[in-house]
């Protein structure tokens, strides 16, 4: 199983540091929930892992190999797949064409579609005509077809009704169970903790809790204190 390791990572944007001193490990086959208040630096951290932005301190390693000096493309080739906020589909392309960007064979495309029977019915429809939830399914299927070692998911629920988001939650679980390490940034904290094995809370640009998701979910006071940064 693959392993992504961050050691004392810091990210700066504009005038100063956004987040600093973050050390965590994402293991293949597990979900790590990265949660915290808005503006805490979660998106900046996840973007530093995929190479969207640079980091200002610390190291990032995948399976023992330093990746922090690599380009975003090089990191993706090594198995770091990033689902950014906003359902990044190509609206003029059909579902099939979107998935074919990462699914190289008919078999890979079929495997990517398997968890999404809704998409099979609309395989030749332009993604612009799909609902927000269906577009997010396309994004997940396309990411899975890329055969990630580590999957970074940033606010999958953004703009979706809770009932639609709930449809996607077990699919993220199944992706992890296939051996992929998932780092999940999510505003629906309890739902994220419910499918995660490990949890990290960031508040005020620093880690305020690190431990099992079960412990954090079971103790509302602990969660509250972590969100306050205490």
CATH number at residue 75: 3.40.50.300
Instruction: Give backbone dihedrals phi and psi of 170, rounded to 5 degrees, phi first.
Output: -65, -25
Handedness of CA 188, 208, 71, 64 (dihedral sign): negative
Detail the DSSP E strand segments found in the chain. 3-13, 16-27, 31-35, 57-62, 65-66, 80-83, 150-154, 181-185, 198-203, 206-212
Residues 6+ apart with CB under 8 A from 134: 118, 119, 122, 127
Please name every residue paired with 184 in a beta bridge, in sequence order, or none if there are none.
Answer: 33, 153
Q: HSE, CB side, 13 Å, CA atoms: give it for residue 112.
A: 28
Q: What is the pTM of this model?
A: 0.94
User: For the CA atoms of the chain, what is the radius of gyration?
Assistant: 17
Which structural domain range is residue 28 located in?
3-228
Euclidean distance between CA atoms 19 and 8, whole angstroms: 10
Walk along the chain (230 residues) and give the pLDDT tens digit of each residue. 899 999 999 999 877 889 999 999 999 999 999 999 998 999 999 999 999 999 999 999 999 999 999 999 999 999 999 999 876 789 999 999 999 999 999 999 999 999 899 899 999 999 999 998 899 999 999 999 999 999 999 998 888 888 888 889 999 999 999 999 999 999 889 989 999 999 999 999 999 999 999 999 999 999 999 999 87
Instruction: Give backbone dihedrals phi and psi of 51, rounded to 5 degrees, phi first.
Output: 100, 10
Look at the chain and report how many structural domains it folds into: 1
Handedness of CA 77, 81, 83, 84 (dihedral sign): negative
């Amino acid at each position: 199983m693959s392993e992504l390791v961050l050691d004392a990572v810091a990210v700066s944007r504009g005038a100063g540091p956004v987040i600093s001193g973050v050390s965590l490990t994402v293991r293949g086959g597990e979900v790590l929930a990265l949660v915290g208040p808005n503006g805490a630096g979660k998106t900046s951290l996840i973007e530093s892992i995929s190479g969207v932005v640079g980091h200002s301190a610390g190291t990032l390693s995948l399976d023992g190999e330093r990746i922090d000096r690599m380009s975003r493309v090089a990191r993706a080739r090594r198995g770091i797949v990033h689902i950014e906020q906003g359902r990044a589909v190509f609206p003029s392309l059909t579902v099939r064409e979107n998935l074919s960007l990462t699914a190289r064979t008919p078999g890979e495309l079929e495997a990517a579609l398997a968890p999404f029977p809704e998409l099979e019915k609309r395989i030749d429809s332009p993604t612009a005509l799909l609902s927000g939830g269906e577009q997010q399914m396309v994004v997940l299927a396309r990411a899975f077809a890329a055969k990630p070692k580590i999957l970074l998911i940033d606010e999958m629920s953004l703009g979706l009704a809770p009932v639609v988001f709930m449809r996607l939650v077990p699919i993220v679980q199944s992706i992890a169970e296939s051996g992929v390490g998932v780092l999940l940034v999510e505003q629906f904290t309890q739902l994220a903790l419910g499918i995660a094995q490990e949890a990290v809370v960031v508040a005020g640009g620093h880690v305020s809790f690190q431990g099992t998701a079960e412990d954090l979910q079971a103790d509302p006071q602990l969660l509250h204190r972590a969100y306050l940064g205490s």
